[in-house]
Amino acid sequence: MFSCDSDKSSETAKKNIDAVVFETIEQRITRHIEANLKIPATEKYTYQIFKGEINGDDSLDFIITVNRLDFAINEAIERKRMAKSASSGFMGTFNFIFYMNGDTKNISTAIPIPSSAKGKLKVSFEHLRSESFNDFMVDFKLDNASFRRFFTLYDEQPREIFEIMLYDGLGDIENHAISIEYSQGSYSLVKDILIYTGELEKVKFDDPEKVYSYNPEIKKTDLLERRWFFNSNQRKYYTKKDQ
């Protein structure tokens, strides 16, 4: 009897190991997303994968964005705030990012990006701290404005180091926009962030919801508004008060 139970236990353990071994990347990602965000099987959500060399090894790492628009809509209906929520693109904590190590396939906990759920997150990469790996940026929408949040990796965990508004007033007569460039660091080896005045593309929308999916052109001017430098001790960007 003992031997029989042992065989069954061994067989079960082997099946569990095989299940883990043959789990696809997509299956691992969806399982982690749904467990971490407590997403029920009935909820529809979308995710996107952006690949970049983030931690300095030889493998491509993943930044995974998650959008829970359906959950945002259903929540607005339940709270009887549909019209008000819809007017801001269902603003709230419905967009998230995860970091996945391309070698170990370990995935971080969810990092919320409060924003309009109608606008999906956009990820880009830049060499700020080193030419041997990338830091990454996340663009998100708040109504007809767009912001960029900068992240770098410390101890396998993404850490926010800077945030700035890219434009405001898309589709309006009055608007504001900036253009970003990078230069050699002033106070450390990390690149400075240079903010120039930008000219936002003039557009008019027949459908107001297009502000969440439209990516306007921004023309850079020669007017330098501000220079931001990286403080290595605080691990964040700062600027001089006299600027």
Q: What is the pLDDT of residue 242?
A: 65
Q: What is the pLDDT of residue 11?
A: 53
pLDDT at residue 98 is higher than 70: yes
pTM recorded for the entire structure = 0.88
- In terms of Cα–Cα distance, which of 139, 146, 128, 113 is closest to 235? 128
DSSP string, 114-152: -EETTSPPEEEEE-SS-TTS-EEEEEEEETTEEEEEEEE
- Report the alpha-carbon distance of residue 15 to residue 9 in Å, rounded: 10
Q: For 103-150, what is each residue's pLDDT tens digit?
A: 999 999 999 999 999 999 999 999 999 999 999 999 999 999 999 999
Residue 176's pLDDT band (boundaries 50, 70, 90)?
Answer: very high
Q: For 37-63, what is each residue's pLDDT tens digit?
A: 999 999 999 999 999 999 989 899 999
Give the pLDDT mean for 168-178. 96
Mean pLDDT of the chain: 91
